[in-house]
Amino acid sequence: MATLEAKNKEIVRKYPEEVISKGNLDLVDEIIADDYVEHNSARPKPLRGPDDVKEYVSMLRTAVPDIHCGVKDLIAEGDMVVRRDRSTGTHEGEFMGVEGTGKKAVVEGNHIHRIEDGQIVETWAQNDMLGFLHQIGVFEPPGE
């Protein structure tokens, strides 16, 4: 029988691998709680509930249609799971006010998820958006 931590890690793994990378939006209702809140350093306000998640993932997959989000580490303790991932893809559509550039980018991210009753109820997300914006040519770093 799988431990609670193992079950929670599998729930969290589905989000980047199935929802983001493959666009399986039907899975969102299964793994994201109705009262879900995502605190994301790159967004001015939190995502709330499955519909916000679906809208965000749809926008992301429109901006980067070939996105692949690969899980590098999952660490679980009790109801918390920490996920480290690496996303790759080509910036083809509008994202954060920047029209598609056709440039490939890599973004590293760290996320802390809280799980209740088999669903993700809260997430704290940190993604290297500054690195992404540099890679797609929005700016040159100081000194270059």
Contact between 88 and 106 (Cβ < 8 Å)? yes
Contact between 129 and 109 (Cβ < 8 Å)? no
- The confidence band for 137, taking pLDDT boundaries of 50, 70 and 90, is very high
Structure tokens at 94: 């509008």
The number of CA neighbours under 13 Å toward the Cβ of 76 is: 17
Residues in the chain: 144
Structure tokens at 64: 């980067």
For the chain, the domains span 4-135
pLDDT computed for residue 144 by the predictor: 65
42-99 pLDDT, tens digit per residue, is 888 999 999 999 999 999 999 999 999 999 999 999 999 999 999 999 999 999 899 9
Whether pLDDT at 17 is above 80: yes
pLDDT computed for residue 139 by the predictor: 86
pLDDT computed for residue 96 by the predictor: 86
90-126 pLDDT, tens digit per residue, is 999 999 899 999 999 999 999 999 999 999 999 999 9
4-135: CATH architecture: Roll (3.10)
SS3 97: coil
Measured from the Cβ of residue 91, the count of other Cβ atoms closer than 10 Å reads 25
